[in-house]
């Protein structure tokens, strides 16, 4: 299995909602990442988990809360988002730090 899966594929939420994005990989990778990609822009790193511990937080607002419950799963909890948070949220994983494999992304729209 050489795949990173993400659910849901699309998500529409209001500014007062709480929702979660889920990412899963079964490649035994020990590093997992969240990226945010706005339209016509490159991905921007948000968080890095290494061996299930948060190792990098790129000054992301606290309305985004990552969680790594085990070595295969990565969640991104969303609360009180703003319309400007609408974007494609990409998850990636890596075993050796230099090959990152990306999931298909979750297209988030905040109304």
**Binder of another protein out of 43, 46, 78, 85 (CB under 8 A):** 43
* Measured distance CA(60)–CA(74) in Å, rounded: 16
Residue 51: which region, alpha, beta or left (left: phi > 0; alpha: psi -120 to 50)?
left
Tell me: does residue 99 bind another protein (CB under 8 A).
yes
User: Rounded to the nearest whole angstrom, what is the least distance from the CB of residue 27 to another protein in the complex?
Assistant: 13
Contacts of 66 (CB under 8 A, 6+ apart): 34, 46, 47, 49, 54, 57, 74, 75, 76, 77
Judged by CB under 8 A, the stretch of 14-22, 67-75, 79-87, 102-110 that binds another protein is: 102-110
Residue 77 — φ and ψ, nearest 5°? Answer: -90, 135
Contact string (CB under 8 A) for another protein, positions 66-95, x = contact: ------------------------x-x-x-
Residue ranges that bind another protein, judged by CB under 8 A: 4, 6, 31, 33, 41-43, 45, 48, 50, 55-56, 90, 92, 94, 96-105, 107
């Amino acid at each position: 299995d050489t795949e990173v899966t993400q659910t849901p594929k699309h998500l529409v939420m209001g500014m007062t909602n709480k929702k979660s994005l889920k990412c899963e990989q079964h490649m035994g990778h020990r590093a997992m990442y969240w990226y945010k990609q706005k339209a016509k822009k490159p991905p921007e790193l948000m968080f890095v988990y290494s061996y299930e511990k948060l190792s990098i937080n790129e000054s992301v607002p606290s309305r985004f809360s990552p969680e790594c419950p085990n070595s295969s799963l990565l969640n991104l909890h969303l609360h009180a988002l703003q319309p400007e948070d609408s974007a494609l949220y990409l998850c990636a994983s890596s075993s050796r730090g230099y090959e990152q494999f990306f999931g298909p992304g979750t297209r988030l729209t905040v109304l």
